[in-house]
């Protein structure tokens, strides 16, 4: 029986700007995405039938057709019916380490791992660009999760421009287990409150996107200047999420008060909040301080760091 295990890293946003509304209903975005070494493990086993099944060790993760990993396998089967017919279905086991509903692309990175894994299982020989094109049909974060590292993402998030890898920047990540923020709600609320400020035409979209490529945070990433990166963090969605979710605001404010913290921000649509520090020791110190200050078993805290890759093969049998 053929089997692949893949490492599927989470991602954070170092920058998220909402530029305007697109004709397809999505938002025109400019983001800087960054992989971190907090990761799920995805095991793929070739099945003897034409079925696709998902298993997961986390009770909040659905294992039916709504799971993005399942949808990724169905997409591969529909795009490569001959391979699906020849090789059969697949059993997908998700060993969940990334917090659920956290704004860390947990579902997207699982789907990315399935695309990569099935490409290997079926011997398709797809390029990264081809896998990213397939991933864009599943969700805006999936293309980035395939290659990972550090990248500017534009359009609705699927158009990627790689940046020099930002490796070994230490982070403390915090998320309340029981707290979830709806991404559609966050964007819709932002549209309602700030839509009058949107850039209106495509030419101006292009100009604004070019400006992001030359932004100070991009220049700081190029030279690995962690202090400047930390000071230039930006997330438009904080404007609507923080007022509506006081626990997220409290986390952010508490991180900001720690002398070891260089910068802090909510990731994506939240509710995860991360803090950048200089060293692993500082990260452990901040983690301990937050644990003592909040003292809530519902709060998860992780020490992690930035990495220069996305989906990676762990084992092959």
Known binding residue 106? Answer is yes
Provide the CB-side half-sphere exposure for 140 (13 A, CA): 19
Q: In terms of C-beta density within 10 A (0-12 exposed, 13-18 middle, 19 or more buried), how is residue 102 classed?
A: buried
- Residue 57: both structure tokens together: 């060790």
Q: How many other C-beta atoms are found inside a 10 Å radius of the C-beta of residue 299?
A: 17
The radius of gyration computed from the CA coordinates of the chain, to the nearest angstrom, equals: 19
Q: Which residue is associated with the tokens 């020791």?
A: 281
Known binding residue 102? Answer is yes
Known binding residue 105? Answer is yes
Residue 305, C-beta contacts closer than 8 angstroms, at least 6 positions apart: 36, 37, 167, 168, 169, 170, 171, 280
Q: Which residue is associated with the tokens 């660009």?
A: 129
Residue 11 annotated in active site: yes
- Identified catalytic residue from 119, 141, 236, 282: 141
Known binding residue 94? Answer is no
Known binding residue 195? Answer is no
- Residue 34: both structure tokens together: 């960054």
Would residue 169 be called left, alpha or beta, if left means φ above 0 and alpha means ψ between -120 and 50 degrees?
beta
* Torsion on CA atoms 113, 149, 158, 220, rounded to nearest 10: 170
Q: Which residue is associated with the tokens 């890759």?
A: 309
Known binding residue 165? Answer is no
- Identified catalytic residue from 11, 175, 232, 289: 11
Known binding residue 21? Answer is no
Upstream peptide bond of 275 is cis (omega within 30 degrees of 0): no
- Taking the alpha carbons of 218, 181, 171, 238 in that order, is the dihedral positive or negative? positive
Nearest to 37 by CA among 142, 141, 148, 117: 148
List residues with catalytic annotation: 11, 141
Residue numbers in the known binding site for ATP are 99-109
Residue numbers in the known binding site are 99-109
């Amino acid at each position: 029986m053929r089997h692949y295990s893949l490492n599927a890293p989470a991602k954070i946003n170092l920058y998220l700007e909402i530029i305007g509304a697109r004709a397809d209903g999505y938002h025109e975005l400019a983001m800087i995405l960054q992989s971190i070494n907090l990761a799920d493990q995805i095991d793929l086993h070739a099945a003897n039938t034409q079925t696709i099944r998902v298993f997961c060790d986390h009770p909040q993760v659905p294992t039916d057709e709504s799971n993005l990993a399942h949808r990724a396998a169905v997409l591969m089967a529909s795009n490569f019916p001959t391979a699906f017919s020849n090789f059969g279905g697949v059993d997908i086991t998700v060993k969940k380490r990334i917090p659920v509903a956290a704004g860390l692309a947990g579902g997207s990175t699982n789907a990315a791992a399935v695309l990569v894994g099935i490409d290997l299982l079926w011997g398709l020989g797809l390029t990264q660009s081809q896998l990213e094109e397939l991933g864009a049909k599943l969700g805006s974060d999936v293309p980035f999760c395939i290659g990972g590292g550090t990248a500017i993402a534009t359009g609705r998030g699927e158009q990627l421009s790689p940046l020099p890898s930002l490796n070994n920047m230490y982070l403390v990540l915090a998320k309340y287990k029981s707290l979830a923020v709806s991404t559609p709600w966050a964007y819709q609320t932002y549209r309602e409150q700030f839509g009058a400020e949107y850039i209106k035409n495509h030419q101006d979209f292009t100009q604004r996107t070019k400006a992001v490529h030359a932004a100070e945070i991009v220049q700081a990433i190029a030279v690995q200047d962690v202090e400047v990166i930390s000071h230039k963090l930006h997330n438009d969605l904080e404007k609507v999420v923080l007022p509506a979710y006081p626990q997220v605001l409290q986390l952010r404010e508490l991180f900001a008060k720690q002398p070891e913290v260089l910068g802090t921000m909510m990731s994506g649509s939240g509710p995860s909040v991360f803090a950048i520090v200089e060293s692993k020791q500082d990260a452990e110190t901040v983690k301990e301080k937050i644990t003592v200050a909040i003292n809530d078993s519902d709060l998860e805290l992780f020490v992690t760091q930035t990495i220069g890759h996305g989906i990676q093969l762990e084992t092959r049998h």
